[in-house]
Amino acid sequence: MRERLVAEATRIVAAQGWAGATVAAVAAAAEISTGAVYQHFPNKGALAAEVFRRATQRELEVLGTVLSASEPVSSADRLAQGVGLFAQRAILGRQLAYALIAEPADPLVVTERLNYRRRYHEVFAAVILDGVRAGEMVPQNAAVTAAALTGGVAEVLIGQLSGPVDGPAARSLVAELTALALRCVGVPVTQFAPSALDSVRPTSADGAHSAESSLEAACPSS
């Protein structure tokens, strides 16, 4: 039943945000009494924190698989694919992504969110460090760049996810975030044509300027 409660709560958050995932709503979706929920979770915050941990763990696993892959060999390729995939998944799961990244939530979720951001710093820092060691990226403090990259991508997506993003605008947003991530780590995008960009090359300028201003502020061009 615990697994079902987490699954139902996740579905509600993905549709309505944290505000909709009340204990009563989750209990109704799981077809049990409200009181029965407390046999598995001491309070709403504990349930919300578990939903957050499960959802973000999945996202980290997907990103980690891309960033640690042996192919493509280039660290820049892996970073481009990772950022592009993260953005695509956020756009496809817009409400859930906003809930995970920025929506006001229970203090237990806020604590988990800080841990989640640190874990993103770690996976980005690892691939940046690989790139620096291989001479593919300019010398830099990988931890600082990873933190700026994580925050910059999140800030761009927060603004863009306030309304539906699809079609050319979505492709443009993903491509801009991918290119800006490469510039952030010192890879000249004009000299770089990763396969990760092939399927997300912009067909529209929608959203490009807001993305560029935010990430460039966080990660100045070298």
pLDDT, tens digit, for every residue of 52-63? 999 999 999 989
d(CA 204, CA 151): 25
Residue 190 DSSP label: G
Report whether 212 contacts 180 (CB < 8 A).
yes
Spell out a b/e string for 87-114, using b for 16 or more CB atoms within 10 Å of the CB, else e: bbebbebbebbbbbbbbebbebbeebbe
Amino acid residing at 198 = D
Cα–Cα–Cα angle for 36, 37, 38, nearest 5°? 90
pLDDT, tens digit, for every residue of 16-39? 999 999 999 999 999 999 999 999
pLDDT, tens digit, for every residue of 107-141? 999 999 999 999 999 999 999 999 999 999 999 99
pLDDT for position 72: 63
Cα–Cα–Cα angle for 188, 193, 194, nearest 5°? 105
Is the full-model pTM beyond 0.85? no
